[in-house]
């Protein structure tokens, strides 16, 4: 069983997790976008009132909050029918044109 889980993509694992709990139908795009923002703020909160060197020592909490942001982001991309690798590639190309190396 572990081998089959390992071979799944992150998105497939997220979708399986959500499906097993009956959560797939409830998520609207707006709600997922709000959840990304809320989780990003929880990530930001880990840095509040600390200097950077102190904040980055909270490895487990940082991983958890960043994972939450990514899970909601993957879920929203999937709901919108976006391929994550494709949209990242398009954005990198656009950024490369906007911010060339020689600037």
* Vertex 90 angle, CA 28 and 66, to 5°: 55
Does the pLDDT of residue 103 top 80, yes or no? no
Rounded average pLDDT over 28-49: 97
Specify the pTM.
0.86
User: Residue 1 pLDDT > 70, yes or no?
Assistant: no
Report the 10 Å Cβ neighbour count for 77: 17
70/67 Cα distance (integer angstroms): 5
The pLDDT tens digits of the residues spanning 51-94 come to: 999 999 999 999 999 999 999 999 999 999 999 999 999 999 99
Q: Is the pLDDT of residue 5 over 50?
A: no
Handedness of CA 68, 74, 76, 78 (dihedral sign): negative
Does the pLDDT of residue 33 top 90, yes or no? Answer: yes
Torsion sign over Cα 50, 52, 56, 61: positive
């Amino acid at each position: 069983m572990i081998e089959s889980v390992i071979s799944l993509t992150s998105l497939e694992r997220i979708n399986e997790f959500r499906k097993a709990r009956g959560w797939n139908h409830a998520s609207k795009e707006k709600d997922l976008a709000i959840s990304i923002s809320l989780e990003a703020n929880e990530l930001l909160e880990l840095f509040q009132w600390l200097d950077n060197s102190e904040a980055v020592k909270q490895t487990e909490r940082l991983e958890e909050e960043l994972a939450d942001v990514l899970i909601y982001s993957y879920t929203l991309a999937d709901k919108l029918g976006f391929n994550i690798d494709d949209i990242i590639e398009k954005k990198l190309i656009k950024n490369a044109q906007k911010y060339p190396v020689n600037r």
